[in-house]
Copies of this chain bind each other. A is one copy, B any other.
Amino acid sequence: MTHFMRIGELASKTGISVEALRFYEKQGLLKTPHRSDAGYRLYDEKTLKQVSFILKAKAVGFSLKDIAGLLALEVNREQETCESVKNFAQSKLDEINAKLAELQRMKDALQQITDACCGSEKSAVHCTILTALSEDEGEPEHH
């Protein structure tokens, strides 16, 4: 028993604006939904998950175009080979891994200098964080 909702409900359930949803549709991220007699968009539960996928992908730095690429695979399933789909997914995976590595490096660097900072209420003239940032952007091993 599938429950259909209008765009406002989808918007409030996903925490995204109605305008953004219509925009995603225009960009090909959401396929054109069913319409009520009055012309209102009607969405099913699946769309909820698709939207949350889009949001997650966005949150980790993929562009709408990237996401459209991933989702587009679904559309022309019959034209695609399993191989090409897998290759595409793998290249996205490579991108994710690159971002992960970069983030991890930043984290380590920022963590190190944060740990080394005294955190006192005194003036930050000699603050190790600032020193590290301005001199070494995050690898405070010497001097």
Number of copies: 2
Chain A, range 103-129, C-beta contacts under 8 Å to B: 103-107, 110-111, 113-114, 117-125, 127, 129
What is the CB-to-nearest-CB distance from A50 to chain B, in angstroms, rounded to a whole number? 7
Closest to A48 in B: B137
Size band of the A side of the interface?
35 or more
Contact of A129 among B89, B103, B114, B120 (CB under 8 A): B89
Query: CA A110 – CA B100 in complex, angstroms?
Result: 14
Cβ-defined partner of A133 (8 Å) among B70, B99, B106, B138: B70
Interface set, chain A 26-60, CB cutoff 8 A to B: 46, 49-50, 52-53, 56-57, 59-60
